[in-house]
Amino acid sequence: MVNLNRHNKSGRIISLALVIAMCLAGIFCVSGCKKEEPASEPETKQENQEDNNIYGDESLGIDAKVDEQLKDYRHILLLGIDNGDRSDLMIVLSINKKTNEIKSVPVHRDAYMQISPDGTYEIDGVEYEFYKCNRAYKRDGIYGAMTELNRHMDLNIRECIAIDWDGIARFIDSMGGLDADISEDMLPTLNNSLKDKDKLSGAGKHRLNGRQAVQYLRVRKYDGGSAPVREERNQEVLAQLFERAKTMSIDELSDVYDDVASDLDTNMSRNTLTDTLASISKSTLESTPGWPYEYTEMWDDAFYYFVPDTLETNVQEFHKTVFGQEDYQPSESVKTLNEKIETARKELN
């Protein structure tokens, strides 16, 4: 049955992935830790001169006209990866290169998108063309995830940082744990997701280890819980970890890096990360509502999706909200995808 409840989730959320990515960049900056530089190709794609720019990148799904319109913006995709190699957490950082303002745009992991632009993709023996957008990373890694969002949102993302939940758990352990006040209504749901050795003895204030903290961040539904409450919880975690990082010595930060370096998947070099940290540390950061803004929860025979109402109007509203583009006209890519999604809508339950 189609759930006709439409959602327009406001509220402010800054992803834990941002904390991790920027703290790690700080470690690169101050500790002198050695890290092998990634291949140079992703770096050269963004080294356009002010004059004679070549806009667009078909390999990353970047439309030339979109790229030119967004030439004053730099976009970085942050991903939190679950144990199934799916992007459980997706955040687009939109950096205005002229004003240094940054907007953080969460993308709903269940958004209905075409994860395979060159054909269908087999999942559990079934061929899919459209699926939850969090599957693109499993199919093609960070480049698949960037391409997917570029094509569906009219973006020019060329950089990505991904870290899995195991890495996040190790990160929090290395930072000394996470202080949290566990409510009576959250406790049963939280404990149900933990192994016996990690279960909490009762409600109240706790110093959570990494495994406990990850489940605390991921818990979604419990009696009395709501999306705004979860967003507020994430903001508290961000503030706590940032404040703790400020008090740590260079040696302590180096140890944190050693614990999680192998969990990072990125096409950004150490120097780029360092420069990004320096820029962000001087910037204002604004969080925006999760995208798509308007959607319907719909089902096929096995899975549910957030189907945009419609893709075109969501892209128009996104470009108005983030870039101030009034009366934005989506690309041909978005228009084609919109038609396919509207056709698929009729076949979903």
CA atoms of 63 and 74, how far apart (whole Å):
15
**CA distances (Å), origin 128, targets 65, 83, 84:** 29, 21, 18
The pair phi, psi for residue 89, each rounded to 5°, is -135, 125
CA atoms of 121 and 124, how far apart (whole Å):
10
Q: Which domains does the chain have, with CATH numbers?
A: 3-175+248-345 (3.30.420.590), 176-247 (3.40.630.190)
pLDDT at position 121 is 82
CB 42 within 8 A of CB 267: yes
- Quick one: tokens of 260? 């999680």
CA atoms of 170 and 172, how far apart (whole Å):
5
pLDDT at position 29 is 47
Number of residues assigned to the chain: 349
Kindly state the average pLDDT of the residues 165-192. 90
CA atoms of 53 and 275, how far apart (whole Å):
22
Which stretches of the chain are DSSP H helices?
A: 16-31, 41-45, 64-69, 136-153, 165-174, 187-192, 210-218, 227-247, 250-260, 270-280, 311-323, 332-345
The one-character DSSP state at 109 is: T
Task: Between 323 and 7, name the one with better pLDDT.
Answer: 323
Cα of first residue to Cα of last residue in the chain, in angstroms, is 5
| Among 18-22, 96-100, 219-223, the range of highest mean pLDDT | 96-100
> How many helices, marked H, and strands, marked E, lie in the chain?
12, 15
C-alpha closest to that of 176 among 251, 265, 245: 245
Q: What pLDDT digit, counting tens, does each position of 46-86 carry?
A: 444 455 778 999 999 999 999 999 999 999 998 888 888 99
CA atoms of 63 and 14, how far apart (whole Å):
28
Q: What pLDDT digit, counting tens, does each position of 163-176 carry?
A: 888 888 888 898 89
CB atoms within 10 A of CB 128: 18
**pLDDT band (50, 70, 90) for residue 327:** very high
pLDDT at position 309 is 95
- Is pLDDT above 60 for 42? no
Q: Is the peptide bond before 310 cis (omega within 30 degrees of 0)?
A: yes
What's the whole-number average pLDDT of the chain?
A: 80
Angle among Cα 304, 86, 108 to the nearest 5 degrees reads 50
**pLDDT band (50, 70, 90) for residue 21:** low
Q: What pLDDT digit, counting tens, does each position of 199-240 carry?
A: 999 999 999 999 999 888 878 666 555 444 555 566 567 667
Q: Is 349 helix (H, G, I), strand (E, B) or coil?
A: coil
CB 136 within 8 A of CB 115: yes
- Is pLDDT above 60 for 17? no
Task: Between 12 and 309, name the one with better pLDDT.
Answer: 309
CB 174 within 8 A of CB 255: yes
Task: Between 251 and 140, name the one with better pLDDT.
Answer: 140
Which segment of 102-111, 153-162, 198-207, 240-249 scores lowest on mean pLDDT?
240-249
